[in-house]
Amino acid sequence: MRVFPVTERGRQFLVVHVFQEGSVFLPAEQNQAHAFRWSDLTMLIQSVTRVTSGNVPKYVRYQYLFVCADGNQYRADARADILGNEQCGLEDFGRIVNPLVTAVQLPAMRAALGRGEPVTFGPLAIEPGGIRKDRKKLLPWAEFEELKITSGQGILMPNGDVVVRRRGKRLNWFRWEAAKIPNLGALLALTDEVGGRATA
C-alpha cells in the first residue's frame, strides 16, 4: 500500500490510499471514505501541466480523474510550486497508479480485440486490423510506424501529445493532447502488443 497526502499551498485537503486492487479517497473536509476497485473503472484521465510566466516556470499541476462504471468520479488535483520548491504529494502518484490500472484493463481489451471489436481511447480506436482515428480513417498495422508521447519522457511528463506516425511518411498521421486521451497507459501497452511500436 502507498499513501499520498495531497496538499496545496501548505494545506492538506486529501489523502489517497493506493492498494494493489484499488484505492480509497479520504477528503479532509468529509468524514466519509470513498473506495473503488481498479476493475470498477471505465476511464482514467490524467494530466501533468507545467505552467510558465514568460519563460519562467511557476508550477506543475497534476490532475487525475477516475471514472467508475456506476457513474461515480474521484479526482486528485493539486499543483506543486516550482519557485517555492513546494511539493503537492502527487509527484509519484501516476507512476504508481498507472501500471496497476493498466494491468486490470488489458485482459478485457485483449478479449474485445479477440472478438473482432474495437477498443476506444477517445478519438483513437485500436482494432485487429489497425488503428483508427475519428471513427473514420484506418491505418493498417502493416503501415503503422509508431505511437509515442512527444515529450519523449514518459506519459507523466508535462504538456505532451500523443502522436501516431505512418511508415514512410514525414507528417504525423495523428496528433492529440495526451491529457485528453483516456486510459493512456492501456493505449500504449495495447498498441505495443498489437502493433509492436508504442513508446512513451
- The per-residue pLDDT for range 70-129, each reduced to its tens digit, is 999 999 999 988 766 788 999 999 999 999 999 999 999 999 999 999 999 999 999 999
Residues 83, 167, single domain; the answer is no
Residue 152 confidence (pLDDT): 47
Residues 63, 115, single domain; the answer is no
Q: Please state which of the ranges 48-57, 92-101, 131-140 shows the lowest mean pLDDT.
A: 48-57
> How many whole angstroms separate alpha carbon 39 and alpha carbon 42?
8
For residue 25, what are the CA distances in angstroms to 33, 36, 135, 149, 157? 6, 9, 35, 29, 24
pLDDT of 153 strictly over 70: no
Residues 101, 191, single domain; the answer is yes
Residues 112, 135, single domain; the answer is yes
Give me the domain span that covers residue 149: 97-199
Residues 88, 104, single domain; the answer is no
> How many separate domains does the chain show?
2
CB atoms within 10 A of CB 83: 10
Residues 141, 71, single domain; the answer is no
Of 63, 92, 121, the position where a domain reaches its end is 92
Residues 193, 145, single domain; the answer is yes
Of 92, 113, 148, the position where a domain reaches its end is 92
User: Can you give the pTM of this predicted structure?
Assistant: 0.89
pLDDT of 4 strictly over 90: yes
Q: What is residue 182's DSSP assignment?
A: S
Residues 166, 187, single domain; the answer is yes
Of 92, 110, 140, the position where a domain reaches its end is 92
Tell me, what CATH number does 41's domain have?
Answer: 2.30.29
